[in-house]
């Protein structure tokens, strides 16, 4: 169990698992004193130790305060490996490749909606953005030729097809497209699954929320992000759907079978990894980038559908609504980036699994609009609770390979959450809290209730105190669409 892992506090919000045995680097966890006992309760600290054994890993095996048990890597885990001789692990990205969040602002004030109008809006959004397991139908079935273009172009394909404007790309990580995507590395099964799910929310912890900006912590940063108190914003949390899941599943099986060939002796087979320069490593990167592009396109289409729905229900034109994209960030991705390690600038492959990039002011990869503020960081909370907008800070580049937390982090399993929700009218409870929920099924609602998660306020506070990212605004939900 995680409680058996030796861990030492080395700074006010930083804990270290000393390097021992097959570990190539130490483990490092960001958490408060109060959080560490909860973190010890599952196997996630063991996973931090296991990740530290990856071939070519540099610096430390890192975990953010929203850490919890995952497949191979803990969710909330970050690891950088040498780009020329290190390994890449599909478990270090996860099954939902480029699961991420986008936030759109508006000129609408929450006080102007009213409950009847909000109900109408949530009904319309529920109809416009398909949700639930296997959901389909936001756009017509793609042709195989269009899918191939989409996998290379990402959100740019959606823009060219009329789903949004080029300005959206300027506010999307990587401009909504990762170079090096290779459709030929993707299985036929994955491609088939991808033909019908563009513009769909999916299930699990994915959501579309209509939110209100309840607090601005930094007026200058809030203004730069286009946010003000009382404002209506929309947060969309989704990923690459069945397409990305299939890619992860395909490559985990393929890479597991080759571990003896690589000569990798790993403490957990779920860490299955391939050399970055191997046939399997290069193929996984090419396929993973296709899934990342699929996810950006997926969220772009959903944003377009959301804009259309707001305009129809509120009777507003685009110029009055001004539903501009603030930013779109990845949560599950592996990227080749330049980072300074021990005073030397090195090319590395950064795995971020349940972690968000948090580049600071002045970084050349931060979009021009945010070059002076630092990259926007979007941190969703649990359903019915608050979410946060943050900004990357300089310590992130020195300590976490430019990474920060991605959400609240589960504190109980989905099974336990469902058990504790039995006999409760969850939708009524939410409405009594002022939140209107529209969901395909009650199972997901039960799994995603706030009591199943840590308090996201504590999570973002740790990262702010550590100098990794700082709070800009707090958002509270008004209405939620769930799968």
Q: Is 171 part of the annotated catalytic residue set?
A: no
Residues 6+ apart with CB under 8 A from 424: none
Contact 403, 64 (CB under 8 A): yes
List of E strands, 262-362:
274-275, 325-330, 332-341, 344-353, 356-357
| Helices and strands counted in the chain (H then E) | 17, 19
Contact 99, 332 (CB under 8 A): yes
- Separation of alpha carbons 191 and 247, rounded Å: 9
Q: How far is CA 230 from CA 113, 219, 270, 305, in A?
A: 11, 14, 45, 23
Q: With H, G, I as helix, E, B as strand and everything else as coil, classify residue 371.
A: coil
- Separation of alpha carbons 244 and 284, rounded Å: 11
Marked catalytic residue, from 68, 331, 406, 451: 406
Q: What are phi and psi of 74, to 5 degrees?
A: -70, 150
Burial of residue 249 (CB within 10 Å: 0-12, 13-18, 19+) is middle
Contact 194, 242 (CB under 8 A): yes
From the CB of residue 428, how many other CB atoms can be counted at a distance below 10 Å?
10
- Separation of alpha carbons 235 and 208, rounded Å: 6
**Alpha-carbon torsion angle 216, 218, 223, 229, nearest 10:** 10
Give kind and range of the element (H or E) at residue 445: helix 442-447
Residues 6+ apart with CB under 8 A from 16: 7, 8, 9, 10, 26, 27, 28, 29, 60
- Separation of alpha carbons 297 and 150, rounded Å: 7
Q: How far is CA 411 from CA 156, 301, 422, in A?
A: 37, 32, 18
Q: What are phi and psi of 171, to 5 degrees?
A: -115, 25
DSSP of 320-335: HH---EEEEEESEEEE
CA angle, 320 then 325 then 329, to 5°? 165
Q: How far is CA 259 from CA 86, 212, 254, 263, 280, in A?
A: 14, 49, 9, 6, 11
Residues annotated as catalytic are 406
């Amino acid at each position: 169990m995680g409680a058996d892992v030796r861990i030492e506090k080395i700074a006010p919000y930083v804990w270290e698992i000393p390097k021992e045995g097959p570990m190539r680097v130490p483990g490092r966890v960001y958490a408060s004193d109060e959080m560490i006992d909860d973190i010890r309760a599952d196997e996630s600290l063991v996973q931090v130790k296991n990740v530290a054994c990856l071939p070519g890993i540099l610096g430390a095996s890192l975990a953010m305060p929203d850490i919890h048990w995952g497949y191979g890597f803990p969710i909330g885990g970050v690891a950088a490996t040498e780009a020329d001789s290190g390994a890449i692990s599909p478990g270090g990205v996860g099954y939902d490749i480029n699961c991420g969040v986008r936030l759109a602002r508006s000129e609408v004030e929450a006080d102007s909606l009213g409950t009847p109008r909000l109900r109408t809006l949530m009904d319309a959004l529920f109809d416009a953005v398909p949700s639930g397991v296997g959901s389909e139908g936001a756009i017509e079935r793609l042709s195989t030729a269009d899918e191939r273009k989409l996998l290379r172009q990402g959100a740019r394909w959606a823009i060219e097809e009329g789903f949004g404007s080029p300005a959206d790309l300027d506010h999307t990580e990587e401009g909504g497209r990762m170079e090096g995507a290779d459709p030929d590395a993707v299985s036929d099964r994955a491609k088939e699954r991808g033909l019908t799910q563009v513009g769909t929310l999916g299930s699990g912890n994915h959501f579309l929320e209509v939110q209100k900006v309840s607090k601005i912590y930094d007026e200058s940063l809030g203004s730069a992000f286009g946010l003000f108190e009382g404002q209506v914003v929309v947060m969309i949390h989704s990923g690459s759907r069945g397409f990305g899941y299939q890619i992860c599943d395909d490559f985990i099986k393929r890479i597991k079978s080759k571990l003896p060939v690589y000569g990798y002796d790993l403490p957990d087979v779920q860490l299955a990894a391939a050399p970055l320069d191997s046939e399997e490593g290069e193929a996984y990167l090419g396929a993973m980038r296709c899934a990342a592009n699929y996810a950006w396109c997926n969220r772009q289409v959903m944003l377009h559908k959301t804009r259309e729905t707001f305009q129809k229900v509120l009777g507003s034109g685009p110029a009055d609504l001004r539903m501009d994209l603030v930013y779109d960030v990845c949560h599950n991705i592996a990227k080749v980036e330049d980072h300074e390690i021990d005073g030397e600038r090195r090319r590395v492959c950064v795995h971020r699994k349940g972690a968000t990039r948090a580049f600071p002011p002045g970084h050349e990869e931060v979009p021009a609009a945010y070059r002076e503020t630092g990259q926007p960081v979007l941190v969703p909370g649990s359903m019915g609770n608050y979410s946060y907008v943050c900004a990357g800070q300089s310590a992130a580049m020195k300590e976490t390979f430019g990474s920060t937390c991605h959400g609240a982090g589960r504190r109980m399993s989905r099974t336990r959450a469902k058990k504790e929700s039995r006999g409760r009218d969850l939708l009524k409870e939410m409405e009594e809290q002022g939140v209107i929920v529209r969901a395909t099924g009650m199972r997901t609602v039960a799994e995603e209730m706030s009591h199943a998660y840590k308090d996201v306020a504590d999570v973002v506070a740790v990262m702010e105190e550590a100098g990794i990212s700082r709070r800009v605004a707090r958002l509270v939900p008004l209405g939620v669409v769930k799968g």
